[in-house]
Structure 1
Amino acid sequence: MTQRTTTARVGQRVTHRRYVPYSHAHYAGNLVDGAYSLAAFGDVATEMCIITDGDEGLFASYSDVQFTAPVRAGDVIEVSAEIVRVGTRSREMDFEVRVVARGNPSRGASAADPLDPAVVATTARGVVVVP
């Protein structure tokens, strides 16, 4: 097995954008549960580990998870991970979900508006480990 050197560095960032489908709404008002944000954090953390370490890595823990605004079906969200600490095998990251566009049914069934500024919906800190 070949030893691989990490390229992980503090400040390195990965960002995804995605549409939140109506099939993920679980509550009145087309609200999406908080687990949706946590799963999105897992996706950006996985990409970060692949880029920096050539391995998907494994999530070890979350801390300070904050749900500060709703995520709704029909939203477009931007999910980011930023490395804040690099250990020998661990990578500590700050995560954020921002709503960058939201449906606007008052203008029509398929109407939507970009949000400027984006609304921060979820934040967290997490630790992943890589082999």
Structure 2
Amino acid sequence: MDDNVNSTTLRVRLRADDTKYAGGVIPAAHYMQLMSDAGAMLGVLRGESAGYLARWEGVDFTSVCYVGDYIEVRCELVQKGNRSRRMRVEVVKLISTDSGGRGQTTKGVVHEPPEVVARGEYVSVIPRADLE
């Protein structure tokens, strides 16, 4: 635990239970959940509370992912208040798989550089009880 930690990343392979859409398309809400998870992880790595989501700002979705793809969620602390943290988050696609939406990888394409899927900022708050 180190309050000098200002960024973190999560790497995830998208699974069939991450979607309800035909063709294995991953919903935008799933990216937002992973971005929130990365922010919570950053709080814990800093020795603080994981915090609670207070507000999303300027979230853009720029690409689509499918079951079987590999993504990375990047989270960076941009501002710290007494009880709040503002974080910049980005989801990038590292590998697209040719799975036909079934998650059964037979071959893939490595994105170099990684393809931006979603980005935005959000604010989380630390409960007063966690500060005592």
Q: TM-score, normalised by structure 1?
A: 0.84
Which structure: greater strand fraction?
Answer: 1
Cα distance, 1:39 vs. partner?
0.6
Residues 38-73 of structure 1, C-alpha deviations (whole Å, 9 max, x = no match): 110111011111122432211111010101111211
Residue aligning to 1:88: 82
Is the contact made by 1:86 and 1:92 (CA closer than 8 Å) also made in structure 2? yes
Is the contact made by 2:68 and 2:105 (CA closer than 8 Å) also made in structure 1? no
The one-letter code matched in structure 1 to 2:50 is E
Name stretches of at least 5 consecutive residues in structure 1 with no aligned partner. 1-5
The one-letter code matched in structure 2 to 1:102 is S
Is the contact made by 1:75 and 1:102 (CA closer than 8 Å) also made in structure 2? yes
Is 2:106 aligned against 1:110?
Answer: yes
Match of 1:50 among 41, 44, 50: 44
Cα distance, 1:25 vs. partner?
3.0
Is the contact made by 2:18 and 2:26 (CA closer than 8 Å) also made in structure 1? yes
Residue aligning to 1:126: 122
What is the aligned residue count? 123
Query: What CA RMSD, in Å, does the superposition of the two structures yield over aligned residues?
Result: 2.1
Cα distance, 1:8 vs. partner?
5.6
Separation of aligned partners in 2, 1:87 and 1:38: 22
Name stretches of at least 5 consecutive residues in structure 2 with no aligned partner. 128-132
Q: CA 1:128–1:8 in structure 2 vs 1: closer, same or farther (change >3 Å)?
A: farther
Separation of aligned partners in 2, 1:89 and 1:111: 46
Separation of aligned partners in 2, 1:68 and 1:44: 19
Cα distance, 1:115 vs. partner?
1.1
Q: TM-score, normalised by structure 2?
A: 0.84
Q: Identity rate of aligned residues, in percent?
A: 25
Cα distance, 1:109 vs. partner?
5.5
Q: What's the secondary structure of 1:88's corresponding residue?
A: coil
The one-letter code matched in structure 2 to 1:124 is G
Q: What's the secondary structure of 1:42's corresponding residue?
A: helix
Match of 2:67 among 70, 73, 92: 73
